[in-house]
Structure formats: C-alpha cells, structure tokens
Structure 1
Amino acid sequence: MLARSAVFDIYGDHLLSSTKWAPVAALVQLTGVIDIAPAATRTAISRMAREGWLTAQTRDGARGYAMTPRAAQRLATAGQRIYADHTPEWDGRWHIVVVEHSGDRSARARVRASMEYLGYARLAVDTWIAPRASDDLAGTLGPGYREFHSELSGDPRQFASSMWDLEQIADAHRQYDRWLTELVQGFPDDASDEERYLTRTLAVHEWRKFLFRDPGLPPEVLPDAWPGTVASERFRDVAARLRPGASAYVESCIRTALGRA
C-alpha cells in the first residue's frame, strides 16, 4: 500500500465525520501499522498539502493537517459509493457528456482518468457515457463540457457489455470476495483494537479500488447473478463489525499524539 493511499484512507474512513484533522505523529503511527515508513508518510502528507488536499494546522500544540473542503467533498462522495448498499433507480436514459477542448495528451489523460473514476465510458473522442449523471462532473471538468440525456435503441445489457469489460470487473469482485473471506477467517473475537484497525484498513483499501474499476451500473444492464452484489454485502458486513475497534484505535493514536493518553 502506498503512503498516499493510506493517508487518504485514514482521512476518508475515520476523520471525515469527526475532526477532519490529525496530528502528524498520529498519522505516522497509523500508517506504521501497515508497514509504511515514517519518512514515506511525511513525504506523502507534504505532497498532498501542495496539491490542495490537506492544509497545515496546529491544534493543542500538535502539528497536524486538516483536509481541505475540496478533499472533504471528494472523500464524502467516495464514501457514499464505497458503502452504498444499492444503486439508485435507473430511468432507462443514458447521460452523455461531450468534453470541449480537452487539451494536449497529458490533459486528455487526466480527463480520461477523472471520467472513468466517475463511472463514465468513452463513447467517442471527447464523448463519454454513463447510466446517470455524476454530481461531481462540474467540479471535475469545470465549464468546458456539454451534456444531455438520451434513450438508446437496442438491448441495454449488450450496450453496457460493449462499453465496459464486465467480465473483468466480475472477476475482480470474485477475487476480492475470496480474498476477504480468507482475511477474516478465524479472526479472533478478542482481537485488539489495533488488529481490528489493521484488518479493516486492508479490507477498505482493497475495496476502494473498485471506485476506479466498477462504474456502479444499474442491475438492468448487468448480467444475472452479478458477483459484485455478494462481494459488496460481505465487505459492508466485515467493515461494520470491525469499525468500533478500528475507530477506537484511531482515536487512541490521536490522544497519544496530543499527550492525552
């Protein structure tokens, strides 16, 4: 796990609904549990601050970082997708976006990464499609795009399978489900809060990757017996069972960093 990803996970999964801030010492301790070196964590924090995700703040004499409004919005949206127990009802129409003046190759690559993260597939050059509009579209693209909704003729399942590699996505869900089952198999009832934090962190981190893999298509366009349904249910169950202990460990690390242990 990269230090940057681990820090994002801590803020998104534990701090978003509380302080939105943590001492550097606590972040170093929390990432150290998953074998990330202190220097790597500090470098990641500094880089995230330069990129506008974090801002330096000292509280109670402890040097730390708070998430910026931009980061809070991005992490809140990601959290809704990560823990969603259903997909919104689909009206049968597709959302089509035409990006204007996407720029040079690097700019086009950034647009592509952003659109795929939001669940869109490329329909044509600078044209993207998804079963529903993303609330983050304007914040991602700015004013340089046009959008409209349209019904498409033909079988929506066939269309979806032509736009997204559904078999690859399905296989990724099966692999995750097997991996998570093995991860928590025999997990002791008397496990420490640190062990619960570690296990939950690994489970959430791997599941978070589906934000970039799985567009969250409605059931109407997915194959029958979609494995993502089972994998999602298992993930939410494991995450919920481990959350109290994991949260307690995060809070204890922050208290220690503030000298309140």
Structure 2
Amino acid sequence: MKARSALFDIYGDHLRARGGAAPVAALVDLLEPLGVKAPAVRTAISRMVKQGWLTACHIRGHRGYSLTPRATRRLDEAAARIYRTSRRDWDGKLDMVMFAPPVSRQERGRLADALRFHGYGPLAPGTWISPWRTPALPTVFAESDVAYDRFTTVHHGNTKALVARAWDLEELARRYREFVAELEPVVGLIGGGTPDRDAYTARFQLVHAFRVFLFSDPGLPSRLLPTPWAGSAAAAFFDAHAARLRPAADRFVHECLMSR
C-alpha cells in the first residue's frame, strides 16, 4: 500500500469529518497497522504539500497537516461516489468534451486520470464522454491549461454499444467480482470481540480496494449496464461491511488522535 494513497484514504474516510487535520505522529500511528513506515509517511506528506493537497498547521502544540480547500472538494466528491448503492436518475443525455491532447506524455496521463476520476471515458484521443455533467470539468482543464469544447448530446443509436467503447465493462465486472472474492475473507474474520485496531485495518483495506474503482467506474445508468451487474453486488457488499466495521474503526482513529 503506497503511503500517499493511504493518506488520501485516512483523510477522506476519517479525518474529513473531524475537521480535516491531524498531527504527524497520529498519521504515523494510523498508517502503521497497514505496514506503512514513518519515513514513507513523512515523504508522502511532503509531496502532498507540494502538490497542493495538504498545508502545515499546529494541533495542540504539535505539528500537523490539514486539507486544503482543493483537497476537501476532491474528497467530498469521492465520498459521494464511494457510498453509492442508490443510483441517480439519468436524462438520456451525454456530456461530451473535445480537446487537443497535451504534447507531454506526463500531462496527457494526468489529464486522462482526472477525466476518469470525474466519470469520463474515451471514445477517441481528445474525445471523451460521460452520462453525468460534472461542474468540476472547467477546473480540470484549467489546471492542465488545455482548451476544450463541451457538448450536451443525445446519441441516436445503440448507446450501450457506444458506452462499451469508452469503458471495458467486461473487465470492470471481472474486477468487481475479484474485489468481493479477495475482501470477503478479510472482513469476514472481524466479529464482535475483535480488537478495534484489527477492525480498523480490515475496514481500511476494504475502502482502499473499493476506492480504486473511482478511476474506472463512472456509475453508469442501469439501462446502459449488463444485467445482472457485478458492480451493484460489489457496492452492496462494500456498504454492508463498511457500515458494520465503522464504529470500531472510528474508536481506533479517535484513540490515535487523542494520544498525540
């Protein structure tokens, strides 16, 4: 588990609701059960500060780090999509963006990752679609300094086939089934008498694994998905165990924060 990714999970799933800040020592304590060592945590924090996700602060006389407004917006959007058992109503329209891809390979990759995170899939280089119109799109392109055209359109044809060009749904379904198969024994071992630290660790693994789907699943409308859809079963599995393990995980987080 990479320290930077784990820190995003810590802030998004636990610290955002507690003011979005924590002492460095508490962050080290929270990542230690996951096998992330203190030097890696400190290096990741430094990088996240440079990237504009965290800012230095003081908490009860100790050095700490808090979320920036940019990070807060990103984590709030992520949370709304992670806990997503119920689906939104779709009006049948697609949001389409067209742009000249950046010359730099690194910049192309960064822009593609941002578009995928916000629910867009590629039809062709420089042409991406989504069933949802996100207000974050202007910010995405402004941060990449890329001009774009945007259209709201209706597809007159087999929209399920069009969607299958932008997203590999068979592969996505396979990964959802794999997620359940791998995490079921992890969370299944956690019962009422399990130490809070172990419940926290299991829940963290569950959330960390499910959060990856933010970059590959836009939450397509049910009428554009195969039936049955493996993503629905995976989301129900996630919701049930994330809620069941939440109280014990919260107690462990509170203990780590208060001891520092």
TM-score over 0.5 for the pair: yes
Matched, 1:167 2:165: no
Shift of 1:192: 1.4
Shift of 1:117: 1.8
Matched, 1:44 2:47: no
Q: What residue in structure 2 maps to residue 62 of structure 1?
A: 62
Counterpart AA for 1:222: L
Q: What SS does structure 1 have at the residue aligned with 2:182?
A: helix
Among 181, 184, 188, the alignment partner of 1:185 is 188
Residues 3-152 of structure 1: matches in 2 within 5 Å?
3-99=3-99, 102-142=102-142, 144-152=147-155
Output the CA distance in 2 between the equivalents of 1:109 and 1:121: 13
Shift of 1:187: 2.2
Q: What SS does structure 2 have at the residue aligned with 1:28?
A: helix
Identity of matched residues, %: 40
Output the CA distance in 1 between the equivalents of 2:125 and 2:193: 55
Q: What residue in structure 2 maps to residue 196 of structure 1?
A: 199
Output the CA distance in 1 between the equivalents of 2:101 and 2:6: 34
Output the CA distance in 1 between the equivalents of 2:190 and 2:147: 50
Counterpart AA for 1:149: T
Output the CA distance in 2 between the equivalents of 1:66 and 1:186: 34
Matched, 1:155 2:158: yes
Counterpart AA for 2:141: L
* Structure 2 unmatched ranges of 5 or more: none
Shift of 1:124: 2.6
**Normalised TM-score (structure 1):** 0.94
Q: Deviations over 1:136-187 (max 9, x none)?
A: 2122112832211111121221221222110000000001111222212242
Q: What SS does structure 2 have at the residue aligned with 1:33?
A: helix
Shift of 1:101: 6.5
Q: What SS does structure 2 have at the residue aligned with 1:17?
A: helix
Deviates more, 1:31-40 or 1:94-103: 94-103
Output the CA distance in 2 between the equivalents of 1:238 and 1:93: 34
CA RMSD in angstroms comes to: 1.4
Output the CA distance in 2 between the equivalents of 1:149 and 1:192: 51
Among 206, 212, 225, the alignment partner of 2:215 is 212
Counterpart AA for 1:250: V
Q: What SS does structure 2 have at the residue aligned with 1:128?
A: strand
Output the CA distance in 1 between the equivalents of 2:5 and 2:34: 12
- Alignment length (residue pairs): 257
* Structure 1 unmatched ranges of 5 or more: none
Q: For the Cα contact (< 8 Å) 1:48–1:54, is it kept in 2?
A: yes
Counterpart AA for 1:210: F
Q: For the Cα contact (< 8 Å) 2:101–2:108, is it kept in 1?
A: no
Output the CA distance in 2 between the equivalents of 1:124 and 1:170: 22
**Normalised TM-score (structure 2):** 0.95
